[in-house]
Amino acid sequence: MDEITIISWNVNGIRAVSKKGFLEWMNNKPGDIVAIQETKAHKEQLSDEILNINDYESFFSSAIRKGYSGVATYTDIKPKKVLKGFDIKKFDDEGRIIQLNFDKFILLNIYYPNGGMSDERLQYKMDFYDGFLDYANKLKNEGNNLVICGDFNTAHKEIDLARPKQNEDVSGFLPIEREWMDKFIENGYVDTFREFNKDGENYTWWSYRTKARNRNVGWRLDYFFVNEEFKDDVIDSYILSDVLGSDHCPIAIKLKI
C-alpha cells in the first residue's frame, strides 16, 4: 500500500515565516504536499529560495491587494490540473482558493475569510462558505474524491476552543458560523481529525497578543475534511503543535492511494 502525507498550515506571511525556520522545515520534506494559507505575497515578490524548495513544485494564488490573504501549494506529486478560485469574482480577487487535481482526489487549499472585522465581513464570510459548499458539492457530485484543507476561521464545537463561554459572541464561534459547519458535515464531509482524536485541548491557533500558546489557550480553526466516500482512505489525521513560526501550527493527513 502506498501512502502520502499532506500538510496544511496558515503561515501568517510566507516571507515572515521564512525567517523563522520554515525553509529548513520544508527542506526536511515534512510531507508530499504542503498547502499553506495567508501567504501575504505575490509570487514576483518572493525569492527563488521560497519558490523552489527541495523537490517541490509550487503553485500560488494571490490577492489583488498586495500583502493580503493568498494561498500556495507545494507538491512533489505532479498535478493533472491546477485551478484558482471558484469563478466568483469577489472571492477570487482575494486569492483564497487553489485547487490541484490528482489521479485519486482533488485537493482544495482554502483560506476562509475572517468575519470579525465588521458585519460586512461576517456576511462576506458566510457568502464565501455557501459559495464554497456549492462548488465542493458540484465536484463531489461529478464523482470526485475531495481533500479540503485550510484555515476555516471557525471553531466548530465547544471542545475546539479553550474558552467557549467567553467567546459565544465572537466571530469564529458565533452560532451562525457553527451552524454552517454542521450543514457542511451534513452534506457528506468528514472532519478527519475527529475520526482519530476525540480529546479536548487540541488547538491550531493561539493569540500572539496574550502569549496564549504558552498556556495552550487556543482554538482549532484548521481542518482537513474529505467526502464521506473517501473516509476509509484516510490513515491518520493529526496536529503538529510543536512546529513554530506562525500563530497557527500545521496539521497533517495521511492517505492511502
Supply the residues annotated as catalytic. Answer: 151
- Listed in sequence order, the DSSP H helices in the chain are 14-17, 22-27, 48-51, 89-92, 119-141, 175-186, 192-196
Residue 131: CA count within 13 A, CB half-sphere: 19
DSSP characters over 136-191: HHHHHHTT--EEEEEE-S---SGGGBS-TGGGTTSTTS-HHHHHHHHHHHHTTEEE
8-state DSSP, 248: B
Beta-carbon contacts of 179 under 8 Å, excluding residues fewer than 6 positions away, are none
DSSP characters over 186-204: HTTEEEHHHHH---SS--S
Residue 146 has which C-alpha cell? 475531495
Residue 169 has which C-alpha cell? 459572541
Beta-carbon contacts of 256 under 8 Å, excluding residues fewer than 6 positions away, are 1, 2, 3, 233, 235
164 class by beta-carbon count within 10 Å (0-12 exposed, 13-18 middle, 19+ buried): middle
Are the C-beta atoms of 104 and 229 separated by less than 8 Å? no
